Every structure is written in C-alpha cells, then in structure tokens.
C-alpha cells in the first residue's frame, strides 16, 4: 500500500491510501453522485483536467469491462473514493479498479472522508486540487493546488479530440442512409453508437476542422459532441456553427449545446459546483414531463441572454432552473445540456432526442 494525500487550494489536506500509479496530478476536484457507471465516467473525455470524486462510498465492486469505455482510456486526472473494491464480482470483469488506474498511469486515493469534501465543494464551489500518490506531504499538495492555472484558461479540447478524421459506417441497413459529421470536442462513444444504431454513417472530425471541410462532406446534419472545459475556448466550433447555421441541421450535447448557444448569441457561465450524476431532473416545457437524466458539466447557458433572439429555451433543470435544452424558431438547430445517450437508467431521452435528430435529417426515427 502507498501513502497518498490530496490538498485543496483552500488549505484542506486529507491523507489516505494510494492505489493505481505513483505520481502527482493536479486539476479541479469535482464530485459525481452516481453509484454505478464509474468505468464510463473515468473514460469520459469531459473529465480531462479534473480529479474525479465519487460521493457513493464504494467504487469498483463490479470490476472493469473495457467494452463500456467511452474513449480509449481514463481521461480524468485522478480518482478519489471512500473505498475502492479490490475483489469485484461480475462475469464480464477483466480487472479491478486498482489495476485499471495502474494500467492507465493514473493515481487514486481511498480511505478519506469524501462526504466532507463534497459538502465543502457544495458550500465553497469547485476548487483546484493536487493528488500525490507515494507521499503524504500535505503542504506540498496545497502548494501545487494553488499554483495551477484556472481550468477556464486551459485548452483541454485539444487534449482529447481526435487527431485525424475517420468514418464509421453503420451496419444497420436502411432504405435511405443518412450521414452525420460529428465534431469531436471530447466525444463519448455512446453518441456515435446511438447514431450508428439508427443506420446513420458517422464521420468524426477534429475540433480544429474548418467550415470548408465540413461543407465538403455535405452531411445531412452537423453534430457537436460533449467535451471538457470552458465553451469560450471552443472558438473554432463556435465559428463553424455560425457559418453553417441555416444551411444544414445542427444539433449537440453538453459542451456542444453550449457552443451552439454561444454561436446563436447567448452567454455561458461557470456553475458553482456543476451538475454531475445520473439523477438530474429535467423538465420539458412543452409537455410538462420531467425526465431523469445523466449529466456532467461545470458550465451552463444563460437563458436570459436569448432575449431578443429567435431561440427558445425548451427544457430546464428543476433543481436550479438552468437551461437544459434549446431550439431555434426558424432553423433546424436544437441541443440539450444533459446526456441522452448515457443510458444510466431511464432511456426515454435517448429515444426522444435521437428521434428528433433523425427527423431533422428526414430519416427513419
């Protein structure tokens, strides 16, 4: 067993037991309230630049199955848990969470009071942190936490976007095959899976792709993925949406939703501690139905900044009234803040949202 310590910019120091890789990582300490789906969360590119803490006290009890990964590996900088399970039980498990973090070269810390850290984050807001695996030098951890830059200043998208374009052809046979260009801002695999399962061919392009290249593909729809960091830093994607608005249907999820909103004239802002978990309530303002959704974001769209535009807020979070969905009055442009593709429990939003995507392309819902 290794000694480990986590230090926060406010001077908080917690010592625990290290697992995974030895070393030092820095990032925002964020918490998620989900109690399953740790494989999906750790491999979600939206967690780049962040140290991920689970509020649920036991993580790793059903092991690790690489088939559930949302990218090519762990993207969170580090892992914080109350207890990590060394002996998982599941017929699809190939290794435990200790081995996962070791294989991925990422540090983890267990045996600390995650409840106290969560309460502190909710009271004071998200804070910068440093996790040291192989040492219990708390003062050094605090120093490193305070020295790191604010996440809003970092270009995290370039860390997680694909390097070259690639196309995935759907194996589902349809009479009228559709084609989506998916702007990779830090894409979760399940987004492309939801499209492929509906008979849509998907071309994934890097976040630096210019408008002219998108036009050459002549897609039936442009889709903007989720991703990490401040949407203001996705300037190329914002410009592409501005250029193509009205010439083709455009849709997006999470960071993609924020990028689309900014392109349509809205502002975005940083939330105090974000929405991360599998039980966020979202109300559809037209139907009045409240859906339980999966979310992972630290920024939000300012709904008031749509005043005077042709954009309507279509869904809100019932916890804090933040914007969860938008739609343009005249153009085929719509997006959601949550993750309908996540399938953490209820699957209603997956069918509704991607059904709407198919309808926008004139395809089979």
Residue 298 annotated as binding site: yes
Residue 315 annotated as binding site: no
Residue 60 annotated as binding site: no
Cα torsion through 272, 273, 279, 280, rounded to 10 = 20
Residue 264 annotated as binding site: no
Helix (H) or strand (E) holding 139: helix 138-147
Q: 111 with 83: CB under 8 angstroms?
A: yes
Residues acting as catalytic residues: 254, 339, 341
Select from 288, 296, 365, 364 the least CA-distant residue to 336: 296
Whole-angstrom distance, CA of residue 140 vs CA of residue 6: 10
Residue 183 annotated as binding site: no
CA-to-CA separations, 321 to 45, 169, 262, 343, in angstroms, rounded: 26, 39, 19, 23
The number of residues making up the chain comes to 365
- Strands 23-32 and 50-54 turn out to be parallel
Cα torsion through 174, 349, 263, 167, rounded to 10 = -30
Residue 273 annotated as binding site: no
Q: 184 with 205: CB under 8 angstroms?
A: yes
For 69, residues 6+ apart whose C-beta sits below 8 A from its C-beta are: 39, 40, 43, 189
Residue 42 annotated as binding site: no
Residue 227 annotated as binding site: yes
Whole-angstrom distance, CA of residue 240 vs CA of residue 207: 10
Residue ranges of the annotated binding site are 46, 227, 229, 255, 258, 296, 298-299
Residue ranges of the annotated binding site for L-glutamine are 46, 227, 229, 255, 258, 296, 298-299
């Amino acid at each position: 067993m290794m000694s480990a310590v986590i230090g926060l910019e406010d001077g908080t120091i917690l010592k625990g037991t290290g697992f995974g890789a030895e070393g030092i990582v820095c990032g925002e300490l964020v918490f998620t309230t989900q109690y399953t789906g740790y494989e999906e969360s750790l491999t979600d590119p939206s967690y780049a630049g962040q140290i991920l803490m689970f509020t649920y006290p036991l993580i790793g009890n059903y092991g690790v199955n690489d088939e559930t990964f949302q990218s090519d590996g762990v993207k969170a900088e580090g892992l914080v848990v109350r207890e990590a399970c060394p002996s998982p039980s599941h017929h699809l498990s190939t290794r435990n969470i200790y081995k996962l973090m070791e294989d991925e070269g990422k540090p983890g810390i267990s045996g600390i009071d995650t409840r106290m850290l969560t309460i502190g984050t909710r009271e004071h807001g998200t804070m910068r942190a440093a996790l040291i695996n192989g040492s219990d030098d708390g003062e050094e951890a605090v120093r490193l936490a305070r020295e790191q830059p604010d996440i809003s200043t970092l270009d995290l998208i370039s860390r997680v976007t694909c390097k070259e374009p690639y196309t995935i052809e759907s194996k589902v046979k349809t009479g009228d095959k559709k084609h989506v260009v998916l702007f990779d801002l830090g894409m979760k695999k399940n987004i492309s899976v939801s499209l492929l399962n509906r008979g849509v061919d998907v071309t994934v392009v890097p976040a630096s792709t210019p408008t002219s290249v998108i036009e050459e593909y002549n897609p039936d729809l442009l889709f903007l993925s989720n991703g990490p960091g401040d949407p203001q830093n996705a300037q190329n994607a914002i410009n592409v949406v501005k250029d193509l608005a009205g010439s083709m249907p455009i849709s997006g999820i999470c960071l993609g939703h924020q990028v689309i909103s900014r392109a349509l004239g809205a502002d975005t802002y940083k939330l105090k501690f974000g929405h991360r978990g599998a039980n966020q309530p979202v109300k559809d303002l037209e139907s009045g139905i409240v859906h339980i959704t999966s979310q992972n974001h630290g920024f939000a769209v300012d709904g008031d900044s749509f005043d005077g535009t042709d954009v309507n807020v279509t869904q809100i979070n019932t916890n804090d009234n933040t914007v969860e969905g938008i739609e343009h009055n005249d153009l085929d442009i719509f997006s959601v803040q949550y993750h309908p593709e996540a399938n953490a429990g209820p699957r209603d939003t997956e069918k509704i949202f991607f059904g709407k995507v198919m309808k926008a392309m004139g395809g089979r819902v």
